[in-house]
Structure 1
């Protein structure tokens, strides 16, 4: 796999609904010399992109193949049901799957939920994509359960949504091939985990700290050299007491003061 260290940029793939803008801004502030390339791709395509080395990391929907990928869960989304604005469900602030039992519910081929038993009445067909399913919801022939981020991403004026209290939830994670944990991947991990630029756990901060440690002994050594240069080369300096003592060191003796002359 081509590592991010061998490319001019860090490539981040992300699934529809994921919002990398905040982390991208922090990346650009901390690593302005390494461009961050954002690649929005269908959820099912992200794992193959990472395996093929076409992206360095990805914001994915769990689960992932943990025998190949590392993953850091980031957040779990609210699940909602998308309905026409004039639907009876809009009278409630929140619904349950039991409330939807008699409704036709679409399960598109790119459905992000792994249903054990799909709720609602089965639709006459499975739409290819979530946007296709929303077109059918707008026509009044069924409803759609999705993560809230997708309801917002594909917002339409004639549709609205309500939370589904007991529906499965989708979680977003940062994922990358475990064998391709590069320095740039570590940098991005530090950003999504909220580490500060001065954090000792961050790669950049750790490198700066190591460089500072290398400089400290040099500064101390320089100070000792200056102190050594300031000392006389002929041995220890004489103390003030020894310099002032009479008869010491062979120097000239101070002249004795005579008795004062008496006035006549």
Structure 2
């Protein structure tokens, strides 16, 4: 009998290593296969069954899929290491108004009024665009994880304070999920081993007041039958 497995697709820049480690600890009997997929192909890969689940960037055509928001990335400008913009720790969109900006064909930003002047030549990939940034052809606007992925000593990047963020989500087939997919969703959402796999939402976090009341109740329970003095005795009447 062939062992069951789960295939996780992930777009460039995504870092599924933590989930993979947790999966290996929780389900050592089921291999988790990691597959790098292009951002434009991630949703189709889930719909076609090439991967079971995928970490992808939004917006995307997610018809036929259930989408679980994960986090949002900062948008950064990648510039030559000696560029004037590196003098600041953070920049704004207006700082880029007169700058030539490269727009690769695998561009993933959803920024309707992206600043700068688009360079006529469009490199095929973000990696190719990084080469052109280093050559002084133009700047590049990307999610921070892509700037880190393609980091070079002759490049630097700065966050753009007023730029839209880059949402990242987990996409799974819509409808009833398999046991393995439900368990992986639980790991992504931080559910503990043994919790209900069919739970559609993580347990709500307690408020600060609820935590305080719980601590007070625990202290009161621990103090039953034991005479206390000072502050512990103030709760008694």
Residue 101 of structure 1, aligned match among 85, 97, 100: 97
> Compared with structure 1, are the counterparts of its residues 66 and 45 closer, same or farther at alpha carbon in structure 2 (3 Å cutoff)?
closer
How much has 1:116 moved relative to structure 2?
1.6
Bigger Rg, which one: 1
1:202 aligns with 2:193: no
TM norm structure 1: 0.72
CA RMSD of aligned residues (A): 1.7
Deviation digits for residues 149-200 of structure 1 (CA, Å, limit 9, x no counterpart): 000101111001111011121111110120462111110110011111132x
Q: Which moved more, 1:139-148 or 1:174-183?
A: 174-183
Query: Where in structure 2 are there 5+ consecutive unaligned residues?
Result: 200-237
How many correspondences in the alignment?
A: 198
Is 2:98 the partner of 1:81? Answer: no
Give the C-alpha shift of residue 47 in structure 1: 1.5
Q: 1: distance between equivalents of 2:65 and 2:105? A: 24
For structure 1, the residue ranges without an aligned partner over 5 or more in a row are 1-5, 205-264
Q: CA deviation at 1:79?
A: 1.0
Residues in 1 aligned to 2:113 and 2:103: alpha-carbon distance in whole angstroms: 11
1:150 aligns with 2:142: no
SS at match of 1:188: helix
Aligned pair 1:120/2:116, yes or no? yes
Runs of 4+ with deviation above 2 angstroms: 63-67, 201-204
Q: TM-score, normalised by structure 2?
A: 0.80
Deviation at 1:7, TM superposition (A): 7.0
